[in-house]
Amino acid sequence: MNKKYRKTIIAGNWKMNLLPSEVKPFTEELRSSMPRVKTCETVLCVPFTHISALRRALKDNRIAVGAQDVSTYEKGAYTGEIAGDMLNDLGVRYCIVGHSERREYHGEDNFTVGRKALAALENGIHPIICVGETLEQRERGITMEHISCQLISALSFIPDDKVRQCVIAYEPIWAIGTGKTATPEEAQEVCSFIRRIMRERYGARLARSVSILYGGSMKSSNAKELLSMPDIDGGLIGGASLKPNEFIQIIDAVAQVTGEER
């Protein structure tokens, strides 16, 4: 399927790392040697406390600001929660929802993930909806069943006319932070399955325009191979997004795959 209909997205997921005071030096280093790749949207999903500092440090639109979570609630007595309109007000354009760490450590289920995706969309923010299987599920041969259940449940909360604003990230749990990456073929198989689900539910036009990312130990040494796969449109990158040089090399890999000049 032709990639020209969709955006390549390289999204860093800082998780709970770095300090707000480290944002400026980090982005200065990043901006000084980051290639300009027209077809690639670069995003940094940072902790809530870092968003304002990131926005200030970025100065232009070369890098989009992302968050890692959003409340299902709009406003009110929800101590500790952060609402979608608060993120929008700070200039956030992307928000990870349903990351496996939130599902595992914060008890988020498919129902919550769908509501969070909707909360982001209602505030003009692209949700990056994460799905992925455990090693046990892979070994039992139920990967596709699990992925389709996660995806379809989340999408059931989203009005059809908003689905095109969603980004899907396939993150096999066994590959997150483990140094163990899915092979390009394994990642492609699931990403193409995700696109097939999108095609069956929303038609070919939408399916070809939705960006599907791979996440799980993506780094400079494996990015090019993964990004060359026909249904992998970018990466959600944890560990390697904390090192400016690594992150830059991943964006460089996009330039190599798309044949763009640096």
The contact set with ligand PGA (CB under 6 A) reads 13, 171, 176-177, 215-218, 236-240
CA distance 41 to 24: 20
Least separation in angstroms between residue 239's CB and ligand PGA is 4
> CA 187, 192, 193 angle in degrees (round to 5)?
100
- Asked if 104 is an active-site residue, the reply is no
Least separation in angstroms between residue 257's CB and ligand PGA is 18
Least separation in angstroms between residue 44's CB and ligand PGA is 12
CA distance 152 to 162: 15
Q: Which of 41, 133, 171, 246 is catalytic?
A: 171
- Residue with Cβ nearer ligand PGA (112 or 222): 222
Q: Which of 50, 99, 101, 246 is catalytic?
A: 99
Rg (CA), the chain: 17
Bridge-based pairing of strands 234-237 and 167-170 is: unpaired
Torsion angle of alpha carbons 191, 121, 235, 175, nearest 10°? Answer: -70
- Residue with Cβ nearer ligand PGA (47 or 216): 216
- Residue with Cβ nearer ligand PGA (51 or 130): 130
- Residue with Cβ nearer ligand PGA (101 or 252): 101
- Asked if 171 is an active-site residue, the reply is yes
Identity (one letter) of the amino acid at 55? Answer: R
Q: Which residues are catalytic?
A: 99, 171
